[in-house]
C-alpha cells in the first residue's frame, strides 16, 4: 500500500524514465538496428525499483492507464526524434497493459499521440501478452482491430509462457511473435529448448508473423536462431536496455 501511494505521485514527481533496448536483424555480417523496446523504470527514494515489483501494483490500482499514456507519448516522441536525426526506419515497441485496452477510446488516444508526436503509425509496435488475449471479449477484439486499422502493428509478447490457445493467434490481428526468453536461454545446448524454440519460430512463420527472439545473450544463440530462420533478435548479446542518451552511441556506429 505504501508502494501504491508512492506510485500515485511518481508521475508528477517525474520519477519515471524509459530505457530502450535495441532489436536487431542479424542477416548479414553486421547486425543492424531495426527497432527499440521502451521499458519503464522507476526510482523511488533514489533507489531503482524492479519493474516486476511496481508494474503489477500499477495495474492493480489502474494507475497504469495514466502511466501507460505517459510511456506511449514519451517513447513515440523519442523515437520520432531518432528518426528525424537519421534513423528513419527505426520502430518503437511499447508494452501495453490490458487496463489500457479496456479504456473506451484507447484507439482515439493512440491516434492523438501519433499525430502529436509525428511518429508514423507503421513505426509503432504495441506488445501485448497472452493473458490479455485470453479475455476474448468483443471489447478486446474490437480495440485490437481499431489499433490495427490505424496502421499500428501488434506483437504477442513472451509467447509460450501463458495459456493462449493457438486458435487465438489466427483470430487476432497480430503482426509479430516474440519468443519468450525462457526458451532461448538454454539453447542451443539443451535439446528440449531447441525443439521448442524451433517449433515456435516455425509456427510464427507459417502464420505469416515476424518472429523476434528475446533474451539472446550469446553468439551461439544468434547462430542457432539464424540457422532456424529467425533473424530478429533482442537481448544482452547486442545491448541491455539503456537510457536514450546512451543509445545515441549505437546510432553513431558503435557497439
Q: Decide: is 39 part of the binding site for ligand G (CB under 6 A).
A: yes
Question: Which residues in 7-26 contact ligand G (CB under 6 A)?
Answer: 21
Our CB check for ligand G shows the closer of 87 and 97 to be 97
Residue in 81, 134, 162, 217 binding ligand G, rule: CB under 6 A = 217
Phi–psi pair at 95, nearest 5 degrees: -80, 135
What is the H or E stretch that residue 104 is in? none
Angle at CA of residue 152, ends 204 and 137, nearest 5°: 75
Task: Evaluate the omega torsion of the peptide bond into residue 188 and state whether it is cis, within 30 degrees of 0.
Answer: yes
If binding is defined by CB under 6 A, does position 136 make contact with ligand G? no
The answer to whether residue 130 forms part of the interface with Mn ion (CB under 5 A) is no
Minimum CB separation of residue 1 from ligand G in Å reads: 21
Select the binding partner of residue 177 from Na ion, Mn ion, ligand G, none (C-beta < 5 to 8 A, by kind). none
Task: Give me the phi and psi of 20, to 5 degrees please.
Answer: -125, 130
What part of residues 55-114 is at the interface with Mn ion (CB under 5 A)?
95
Contacts (Cβ under 8 Å, ≥6 apart) of 26:
222, 225, 226, 231, 232, 233
Examine residue 79 and tell whether it contacts ligand G (CB under 6 A): no
Closest CA to 15 of 25, 3, 26, 23: 3
According to the binding rule CB under 5 A, does residue 157 interact with Na ion?
yes
What residues line the site for Na ion (CB under 5 A)?
157, 214
What residues line the site for ligand G (CB under 6 A)?
21, 39-40, 51-52, 55, 64, 68, 71, 95, 97, 157-158, 181, 214-217, 235-236, 241
Amino acid at each position: 500500500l505504501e508502494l501504491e501511494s508512492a506510485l500515485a505521485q511518481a508521475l508528477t514527481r517525474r520519477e519515471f524514465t524509459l530505457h530502450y533496448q535495441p532489436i536487431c536483424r542479424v542477416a548479414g555480417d553486421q547486425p543492424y538496428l531495426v527497432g527499440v523496446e521502451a521499458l519503464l523504470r522507476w526510482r523511488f527514494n533514489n533507489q531503482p525499483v524492479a519493474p516486476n515489483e511496481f508494474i503489477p501494483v500499477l495495474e492493480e490500482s489502474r494507475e497504469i492507464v495514466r502511466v501507460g499514456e505517459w510511456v506511449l507519448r514519451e517513447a513515440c516522441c523519442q523515437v520520432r526524434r531518432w528518426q528525424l536525426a537519421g534513423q528513419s526506419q527505426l520502430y518503437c515497441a511499447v508494452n501495453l497493459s490490458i487496463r489500457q485496452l479496456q479504456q473506451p477510446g484507447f484507439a482515439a488516444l493512440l491516434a492523438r499521440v501519433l499525430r502529436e508526436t509525428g511518429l508514423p503509425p507503421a513505426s509503432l509496435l504495441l506488445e501485448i501478452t497472452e493473458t490479455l488475449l485470453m479475455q476474448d471479449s468483443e471489447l478486446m477484439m474490437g480495440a485490437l482491430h481499431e489499433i490495427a486499422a490505424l496502421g499500428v502493428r501488434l506483437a504477442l509478447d513472451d509467447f509460450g509462457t501463458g495459456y493462449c490457445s493457438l486458435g487465438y493467434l489466427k483470430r487476432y490481428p497480430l503482426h509479430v511473435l516474440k519468443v519468450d526468453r525462457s526458451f532461448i536461454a538454454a539453447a542451443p545446448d539443451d535439446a528440449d529448448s531447441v525443439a521448442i524454440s524451433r517449433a515456435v519460430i516455425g509456427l510464427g512463420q507459417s502464420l505469416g508473423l515476424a518472429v523476434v527472439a528475446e533474451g539472446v545473450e550469446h553468439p551461439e544463440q544468434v547462430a542457432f536462431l539464424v540457422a532456424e530462420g529467425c533473424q530478429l533478435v533482442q537481448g544482452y548479446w547486442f545491448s541491455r536496455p539503456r537510457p536514450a542518451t546512451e543509445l545515441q552511441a549505437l546510432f553513431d556506429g558503435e557497439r
